[in-house]
Amino acid sequence: MEQYVIKGGTPLVGEVEIGGAKNAALGILAASIMTDETVLISNMPDVRDTNIMLQAMENIGVLIKRIDRHTVEINASRIHSQVIEGDYVKRIRASYYLLGALLGKYKQGTVVFPGGCAIGARPIDQHIKGFKALGADVDIAHGMVNAKASALKAAHIYMDVVTVGATINVMMASVMAEGQTIIENAAKEPHVVDVANFLNSMGANIKGAGTDVIRIKGVERLHRSEYMIIPDQIEAGTFMFAAAVTKGDITVKNVIPKHLESISAKLIEIGCEVQESDDEVRVVASKRLSHTQVKTLPYPGFPTDMQPQITVALALGQGISIVTESIFENRFKYVDELTRMGANVKVEGNTAIIDGVQKYTGAEITAPDLRAGAALVLAGLSAEGYTLIDDVKYIERGYEDFPEKLQNLGAKIARVDSERDVQKFKLRVG
């Protein structure tokens, strides 16, 4: 079993290059099948989720050529099936983006119902509501979601909740529908804007992405494009918090500082120094962190995908902090693991009440999901002694070369898959 072994206590110092945004990449990959012409996508993160998406696309006949590790050429002119199935696809919820893309292009698609999720129930009712409004019949049978329309017609759709997934999916389904679709109460996340920009680069006519009203005028067809994915807001934020919890000094490079504003603001509030320039942000933490209150919210609020990382930091801060999770109902599972490392956190419903401790101590823990897993790595990096983290496969869904990037900042961390490797690591780092 793959694990990370960490010897904590070293302040992380140096520069780290941030990769392309995983959650933008997943939408963009799906959207790329909507043209029969060739699409070139760069700054593609090489992580498990994007690789599973590429595999799902290949399985229906999409030609994928890897130009280099982060650049793929995609040609979807020979798709032979509109059915996305297989256990491996269930593992990524974003496989449902292929439903919006197939429906938009072929007026029909079938995708295996996305699998269960560690962070909450994650219904897809808003996706279905949007597809139906565009004229599709949608049904769920035998674990598959089917959508089919004789013609797609523009509609005025009001999202009942702010949802990234449904906003992107309905946007894709409507780009070639007849007339002007309006999505109200749309999600404003940077990756929603990136998918819209990508679709526009293929000839779509989408206006207002990044605001809560998106207007999509249907076009006849989409065409070839070359597109570079935006930097990953959450990978960047994770390294910013790595500086905070290890009392380090990290410059995260190749970022869009605007996307990091809510994260920078909280770091400043808890006593870090944050310096922004064109495409980098430096975080310096030289004293004990202090306390604050934070509530996760849709963009531009504090991201739910940074909730475990800030909790790990606040649990080391002086005083009482409150973290409220307002997006997913089950996103505090990792707190039990953090408690094993000495944290003093009480979870009541969707709120964590945190009484900061002076330090963590290393322990054997398990990554319950992607972001919580990354946050536990940060805890291990600041802890006294050794930490062993199981189930790092979750972390690798969304962080490319995580141990290597941390090593370059001075971290003592290794990916291991046997007790012998752990012993070797201990001998090496002392």
Give a three-class secondary structure readout of 240-298: HHHHHHHCCEEEEECCCHHHHHHHHHHHHHCCCEEEEECCEEEEECCCCCECCEEEECC
> Using CB under 6 A, which of the segments 161-169, 346-354, 385-393, 404-412 binds ligand EPZ?
161-169
Binding-site string for ligand EPZ from residue 21 to residue 40, where x marks contact by CB under 6 A and - marks none: --x--x--------------
- Among residues 298, 415, 301, the alpha carbon closest in space to that of 5 is found at 415
CB 409 within 8 A of CB 13: yes
Q: How far is the CB of 120 from ligand EPZ (least distance, A)?
A: 6
- In terms of phi and psi (left: phi > 0; alpha: psi -120 to 50; beta: otherwise), the region of 84 is beta
393-422 binders of ligand EPZ (CB under 6 A): 398
Choice from 3, 43, 50, 126 touching ligand EPZ (CB under 6 A): 126
Q: At closest approach, how far in Å is the CB of 286 from ligand EPZ?
A: 30
- Please state, as a whole number, how many other Cβ atoms lie within 10 Å of the Cβ of residue 65: 11
Closest CA to 239 of 249, 230, 224: 249
Is 305 an interacting residue with respect to ligand EPZ (CB under 6 A)? yes
Phi and psi at 79, nearest 5°, equal -65, 130
Query: Of 53 and 383, which has the nearer Cβ to ligand EPZ?
Result: 53
- Whose Cβ is closer to ligand EPZ: residue 161's or residue 213's? 161
Give the active site residue among 67, 117, 140, 268.
Answer: 117
List Cβ neighbours of 95 (8 Å cut-off, separation of 6 or more).
52, 53, 56, 84, 89, 111, 112, 114
Nearer to ligand EPZ, 272 or 335 (CB): 335
**Cβ burial 173-207 (10 Å sphere, 16+ → b, else e):** bbbbbeeebbbebbbbbbbbbbbbbbbbbbbbebe
Annotated catalytic residue 272 = no
Question: Residue 370 CB, nearest distance to ligand EPZ (Å)?
Answer: 5
Identify the residue among 94, 345, 354, 414 touching ligand EPZ (CB under 6 A).
94
Among 28, 47, 102, 124, indicate the residue that binds ligand EPZ (CB under 6 A). 124
Cα–Cα distance measured from residue 78 to residue 57, given in angstroms and rounded to the nearest whole number: 11
**Is 371 near ligand EPZ (CB under 6 A)?**
yes
Out of 15, 58, 125, 279, point to the residue binding ligand EPZ (CB under 6 A).
125
Residue that is written with structure tokens 């009392």 in the block: 247
What is the C-alpha to C-alpha distance for residues 370 and 2, in angstroms, rounded to an integer? 14
Among 161, 265, 268, 353, binds ligand EPZ (CB under 6 A): 161
Q: Does 243 bind ligand EPZ (CB under 6 A)?
A: no
Q: Binding to ligand EPZ by residue 266, rule CB under 6 A?
A: no
Cβ at position 260, least distance to ligand EPZ in Å: 15
How would you label 274-287 residue by residue, b for 16+ Cβ within 10 Å and e otherwise? beeeeebbbbbbee
| Residue with smaller CB distance to ligand EPZ, 149 or 164 | 164
Angle among Cα 302, 307, 308 to the nearest 5 degrees reads: 160
Asked if residue 300 has a cis previous peptide bond (ω within 30° of 0), the answer is yes
**116 belongs to the binding site for ligand EPZ (CB under 6 A):** no
Q: Which of 370, 379, 388, 389 binds ligand EPZ (CB under 6 A)?
A: 370
Query: Among 32-40, 164-172, 343-351, 356-364, which window interacts with ligand EPZ (CB under 6 A)?
Result: 164-172
**Does 327 contact ligand EPZ by CB under 6 A?**
yes
CB 176 within 8 A of CB 104: yes
Angle between helices 22-32 and 190-201 (to 10 degrees): 30
Q: Closest distance between ligand EPZ and the C-beta of residue 429, in Å?
A: 30
Q: Which two tokens stand for residue 72?
A: 């793929």
**Minimum distance of ligand EPZ from residue 375's CB (angstroms):** 11
With binding defined as CB under 6 A, does residue 127 bind ligand EPZ? yes
Positions touching ligand EPZ (CB under 6 A) are 23, 26, 93-94, 120, 122-127, 161, 163-166, 187, 189, 304-305, 327-328, 370-371, 398
What amino acid positions are annotated as catalytic residues? 117
